[in-house]
Structure 1
Amino acid sequence: MTLLRIEHLSKSFDGVQAVDDVSFSLKAGELLALIGPNGAGKSTCFNMINGQLKPGAGSIELDGQRITGKRPRDIWRLGVGRTFQIAATFNSMTVLENVQMALLSHERRVFSLFSRIASWREDEAMALLDLVGMAGHAQRSCAVLAYGDVKRVELAVALANRPKLLLMDEPTAGMAPEERNALMALTARLAKERNIGVLFTEHSMDVVFEYADTLIVLARGKLIAQGDADAIRNDSRVREVYLGTGASFSPHAALNDGAAR
């Protein structure tokens, strides 16, 4: 079943085309890696899907519902979780409180005094922390955690709205190899068990080729290749972009070459 459908998505900044007529789809339970060199348009795509940027053109559908241009908080409540390239948690709060705040946001609950949430949905928050291996750190401040542990807390926060779609922007950035594999193995297991579609960007190609079901490659805002790991490894345009200088890459030539295939 198609969960996310992107059609002819475009965005420019001061005349520079950051994303140029990009279309792809993602199925429930699938891990889809969006890769490309720096400046390819990956984060811009993410920010349009998440509602932080309004597309210049194109459409975004989640589970058959058009979400193009909706506010981030409305998209969150429709079942889109997100983690960020630089982990986003509240350092002044405990690990448990971070997850409780996410649960509050999802249910649109507001408390006038923070102390009133001390035990609110604690069991559910602890279950999410246990899921990501952080239950033993529940009462610690996020400010004192190792970076890999902060990434796990951020994943628990992203799961608080019971997402249909999980957007992960460089989820393993700054992590050691063992931590990277543990986090992505957990994400892959949750995607299959909970039928969550996962769209992620990643610069570690070992992570991408190990865990992605499908890969799409952007270069200068254009989608230049799409397929499984073997297809992407053997694509001459992808090798040029990643292994060469990319100086000879022409988005229009790549588009015409792709259409001719």
Structure 2
Amino acid sequence: MTRSKIALVFSGQPRSAHLSYEFYARNLLNDHDVDVLGCFWRSDTPVDFGDWTFDTLEWLDPAPFAAEHAGILAYYSKTHSAHFPAENALFMLQCLSASWGLVQKPYDFVIRARTDFALNRSFDFGTMERGKIYQPNSEKRAGAISGNDQFAIGSPKVMQVYMSAITSARAFVASGDHVAGEHLIDFHLKHSGFSADDVVALDMNDPFPPSGIDVMPNSLLRGDYATWRGISHARQRRTLRERLRRAVAKLW
């Protein structure tokens, strides 16, 4: 196996971070030269990172983003299910974009992941093509490239494009598609010149069987999902909605 210089970039909500370390240690950290970078939304809820240590760690304030995207958030807050709020997808992608700013060194490959993604396989990066994006298997939609918002691997050049999906948010909204992270990534990659041949599906050796909200075998650690979901749909959403209301009022 080729030993590679890797940037492992976590972003979004730090769900189940204390549970995921052993998976990455066994399948990535022990075999490669890895810098661990993290960019997360600020919250007043304590976060347990377990054995993780970060070379760079950044916390984002959601208020500026809520103001900048007030029109999009206001529209989709009225048209989307409360169980899958559009603002969650948009905020996730904004954090993903901000996390690219942490990638400051030359790397062979960049991995973008969520902290609740259990990496249950290793990689020989020497066999990967630098112009392609590698990501978990996912169901393709008609005409879609099949973007994945949980985990992805690519060269720095490729991942800079992948991680900038939020820049296509307004054009995506105009297309009328449902706001979900993977759908927006589909749209962004396609309009950035990628084709289905540029996206390679990986068998992730999913460690968990279908359960609860996950109807397929998967790699998601759900240990504190209910807690973070409660934060998102209660206190955090009330705070963001109030900031959003004020931002929209200023537009009129």
User: Would you say same fold, with TM above 0.5?
Assistant: no
User: Scaled by the length of structure 1, what TM-score is found?
Assistant: 0.25
Query: Which one has a larger percent strand, Structure 1 or Structure 2?
Result: 1
Of the two, which has the highest radius of gyration? 1
User: Scaled by the length of structure 2, what TM-score is found?
Assistant: 0.26
